[in-house]
Structure 1
Amino acid sequence: MPSLKRLLAPPQHFAQDPLLFHRAQLLNFSLLALIAVMTTAALFNLIVLGDSTLARIQLAMVATILLALWHFRRRASLQGPAWLASSCAGAMLLYLIIHARGDSSPYLMLLLYPLFAYPLHGPRAATLAYLVFVAAVLAVFAYGWVHWDVVNPARKLFNTLVALVVGGGIIYYYEHTREEALNRVRILSMTDPLTGLWNRTMFDEMLAHEIATTQRHQRCFSLILLDIDHFKHINDTLGHDVGDTILRELAQLLSTRRRASDGLARWGGEEFALILPDTSRQQAEQLACDLLETIRAHRFPHAERVTASLGVGTFCPGNDRATFFRAIDQALYRAKRQGRDRHAMTDDEQTAD
């Protein structure tokens, strides 16, 4: 049972994103189901019907799907395995139509394709796949008019197209609204409601991703931890509404000074964190100086003067995350002990403005 549960569970890489996790669950189950169905069909065709050619084709598809399943579980990749799964499902449905030679019952199964494709791909990609599928159905009908003895093929084509368009439209609308709702939940779970920046949870994910990228590509990144000076005093004397306004203004100010590739988050309370990919120690220190000058020059509403203290450090391959972040935190408090309104570097090197 534990082995079966592990097999049915999608990779934990997708656990933090509800939308991707749902797709990963469906893809994992679909690949396993396709392997089981195609293997059974191949054995049936080989042993019962004696159709070795079709059986070999189905076993080749099983081998391909097994490769896709391995790639999905080991590499945590969705796109390629998802297209392979939907293509195999579509091919199976088209085969049922051709094999039935005009019998009406398999046409009802065509609605299984959008039910399968839309949750797996999402509205945009699935619509493209569905249009290709509908075109293939029309091609099958054109083939059938020539080779099959079909009673009233025009009516059957019309009824099938109505079912495909109406059924596909309803499934598209449902999946589109469901995905929008999940996206709203995802955004709310990753952003700070006051400043609109990424929250602590998202910061931890960005930091883990940047560390993994650093180790993989053997390059360095820098991190700046910023803390507003005397923020408790601002709240106590001017009120929390003013404090919230200052936090929002500072978040906007930092957003305008960062690069598109930088990760900016509210780390907690009056603290902000800025992840700087592919940034050397000297570049990070220069940015810290620029940020201090920008904050000093800005006129915050209802506050005479707002300053900040910064801890700055650079993470390189081979460094330890916990040790690195502890050094950044110590540098920040060192800047505060030295008089605030300044920055301090890690590794016991201090630079004051």
Structure 2
Amino acid sequence: MLRRLITLGCEYSDTKTLERKIILVNIAALLSIITTAAYYLLYLIYDNSALLFSGGCQMLLLPLFSLSLWNNYRGNFTSARWLLFLVAVISVLTAITTGQGTVFNTHFYFMLFAILPIALFRNEEWLSKAAMTSLNMIIYIYLEVFGWPHDPAMELLNQSQVMFLQVMVAASCISCLMILQSINEVYAEQAEQSLQRQAFTDGLTGLYNRRYFSIQLKQKMAQAPLCLLMMDVDHFKQVNDNYGHDAGDQALKHLAEVVIEHLRSNELFARIGGEEFALILPAKEARQRAEKLRLAIASTPLFYKSRRIDLTVSIGVYQKGNGDSEEDIMRGADKALYLAKVQGRDRVITNSAPEYKKTS
């Protein structure tokens, strides 16, 4: 239930930035409701007439905070933000002017309200940011300099009660800022991870791309003996010509899914070109693994628009030798792949094969 309230309106968001701001408004509205209710409960405990009157006036504004949530739910984001700020400002001013005065430092909330527009409004809404920040700063400075008299009934509160309310004001302001910062950090981290995924991921198949593959190959070369497997779809141009480019895309995605089903946890699979794929795997049983992958692809046709498309692949396997560089390994696997295609396709050639050694 709480999660649903926090994410109200997110389904209308077309960017992560807007989604973050929607969530921040929802959380701010919920915190305002909870804080107002908590203060009023404390006023009931203190049984002070001035506090009860000012708190009662604030409680009348609670439905307007809920209206901010409703506006987000309806996709009216600008209205939700403005309503939240205006109601929050009016609520605090109501508390100060109807009895509490500035004895609890309640005007500190205006400092918080001056900061929040930076996080809640978008960059293109700079005028709203400036207006709301300026308004709250003016109110804060005025109350800090001139103060506001409190109701005489406030004198009935003892020092510990006054101090506790002052601590509540400070704590709630700090808590709001911490929550705001935490949400911003979470979304910043998610945005960074998303950019990293985009930089290292092939958009069509969801596999790693050539850039990431090269980075990992360099790192893995210093570890246990490895083999590089390079795979190319046979007669891929015919698939595009006979069935259309969408069918070609589906064929590449289909091949990726078949191979992924046969991968082990320590193996890295990537799309490094148009219809070309590469796989880093342990040197042990590399030839057998390559044959299993070739047979798995050949025996798993793609069904596209009620038509069967049989796919085969040519595979070149190169086992890293002493002193081999990244370029040597890539060149060697590419050479083995070329030989597999020259000799009829739908086969595996390794750098230990006689035909490979003859061309060395």
TM-score by length of 1: 0.52
Structure 2 counterpart of 1:207, from 214, 217, 221: 217
Structure 2 counterpart of 1:331, from 329, 333, 336: 336
Alpha-carbon distance, 1:287 to partner: 0.3
Alpha-carbon distance, 1:187 to partner: 1.4
Aligned to 1:291: 293
In structure 1, list runs of 5 or more residues that go unmatched: 1-103, 105-110, 112-149
Aligned to 1:82: none
Amino acid at match of 1:174: N
Structure 2 counterpart of 1:342, from 319, 342, 347: 347
Alpha-carbon distance, 1:226 to partner: 0.3
Alpha-carbon distance, 1:182 to partner: 2.3
- Whole-angstrom distance in 1 between the partners of 2:208 and 2:226: 19
Aligned to 1:314: 319
Aligned to 2:60: none
Alpha-carbon distance, 1:180 to partner: 1.9
Alpha-carbon distance, 1:326 to partner: 0.6
What are the Cα deviations for residues 181-235 of structure 1, in whole angstroms up to 9, with x where unaligned?
22222212221111111111111122122124x2xxxx21121100011111221
Whether the aligned pair in 2 keeps the contact of 1:343 and 1:350 (CA below 8 Å) is no
Alpha-carbon distance, 1:341 to partner: 0.6
What are the Cα deviations for residues 40-89 of structure 1, in whole angstroms up to 9, with x where unaligned?
xxxxxxxxxxxxxxxxxxxxxxxxxxxxxxxxxxxxxxxxxxxxxxxxxx
1:54-69 equivalent positions in 2, closer than 5 A: none
Alpha-carbon distance, 1:168 to partner: 0.3
Residues 1:175 and 2:185 are matched in the alignment: yes
Alpha-carbon distance, 1:316 to partner: 4.7
- Whole-angstrom distance in 1 between the partners of 2:177 and 2:216: 40
Structure 1 counterpart of 2:248, from 243, 249, 272: 243
Whether the aligned pair in 1 keeps the contact of 2:207 and 2:271 (CA below 8 Å) is yes
- Whole-angstrom distance in 2 between the partners of 1:205 and 1:319: 16
What are the Cα deviations for residues 91-110 of structure 1, in whole angstroms up to 9, with x where unaligned?
xxxxxxxxxxxxx9xxxxxx
In terms of Rg, which structure is larger? 2
Change (3 A) 1:156 1:316: farther
Amino acid at match of 2:298: R
CA RMSD of aligned residues (A): 2.8
What are the Cα deviations for residues 13-37 of structure 1, in whole angstroms up to 9, with x where unaligned?
xxxxxxxxxxxxxxxxxxxxxxxxx
Aligned to 2:169: 159
Q: Secondary structure at the match of 1:275?
A: strand
Alpha-carbon distance, 1:264 to partner: 0.9
1:1-353 equivalent positions in 2, closer than 5 A: 153-212=163-222, 214=223, 219-276=224-281, 279-280=282-283, 282-301=284-303, 302-316=307-321, 318-347=323-352, 349=354
- Whole-angstrom distance in 2 between the partners of 1:253 and 1:314: 23
Alpha-carbon distance, 1:159 to partner: 3.4
Aligned to 1:22: none
- Whole-angstrom distance in 1 between the partners of 2:197 and 2:272: 17
- Whole-angstrom distance in 1 between the partners of 2:355 and 2:292: 16
Q: Secondary structure at the match of 1:268?
A: coil
Alpha-carbon distance, 1:303 to partner: 4.3
- Whole-angstrom distance in 1 between the partners of 2:354 and 2:216: 26
- Whole-angstrom distance in 1 between the partners of 2:252 and 2:274: 9
- Whole-angstrom distance in 1 between the partners of 2:322 and 2:241: 43
Change (3 A) 1:349 1:258: farther
156-165 or 225-234: which moved more?
A: 156-165
Amino acid at match of 2:286: A
Amino acid at match of 2:335: Q
User: Between Structure 1 and Structure 2, how many residues are aligned?
Assistant: 199
Identity of aligned residues (%): 33
Amino acid at match of 1:190: F
- Whole-angstrom distance in 1 between the partners of 2:330 and 2:206: 24
- Whole-angstrom distance in 2 between the partners of 1:304 and 1:248: 13
Alpha-carbon distance, 1:319 to partner: 2.1
Whether the aligned pair in 1 keeps the contact of 2:228 and 2:329 (CA below 8 Å) is no
Amino acid at match of 1:195: T
Q: Secondary structure at the match of 1:154?
A: helix
Amino acid at match of 2:333: I
